[in-house]
Amino acid sequence: GAVVSQHPSRVICKSGTSVKIECRSLDFQATTMFWYRQFPKQSLMLMATSNEGSKATYEQGVEKDKFLINHASLTLSTLTVTSAHPEDSSFYICSARRVEGEAYEQYFGPGTRLTVT
């Protein structure tokens, strides 16, 4: 089956620094990728929708300048948390959509746990 990888799986960074998370579709091309954030004991919150070659669409309340998304190729999207603060600590999951004709399938990465100290 289709596989989506995320790197790193865990990252600890100091407050004020930036951290980049990569999401790759390993065996298919994904024109659309999604980024989610999960707070403890809560569901996954959609942060933004990333389309290859165009600007990401952010959900209401998500800071574009804080969470930079780049979808430079059909197999790679990156999320950069800029000037990270402890409140940015969270579990981030990406998803890649594989389209086949009029149907699509959604595949999720294993997630990245970010801790900002």
Partner 1 sequence: SQELEQSPQSLIVQEGKNLTINCTSSKTLYGLYWYKQKYGEGLIFLMMLQKGGEEKSHEKITAKLDEKKQQSSLHITASQPSHAGIYLCGADIGNFNKFYFGSGTKLNVKP
Residues that bind partner 1 (CB under 8 A): 32, 34, 36, 38, 40-46, 49, 57, 91, 93, 95, 97, 103-106, 108-111, 113
Beta bridge partners of 49: 34, 57
Supply the minimum distance, in Å, between the C-beta of residue 78 and partner 1.
19
CB of 3 to partner 1, least distance (A): 12
Cβ burial, residue 109 (10 Å; 0-12/13-18/19+): buried
Residue type, 20: K
CB nearer partner 1, residue 12 or residue 83: 12
- Using alpha carbons, select from 112, 106, 6, 115 the residue that is nearest to residue 49: 106
Rounded to the nearest whole angstrom, what is the least distance from the CB of residue 88 to partner 1 in the complex? 15
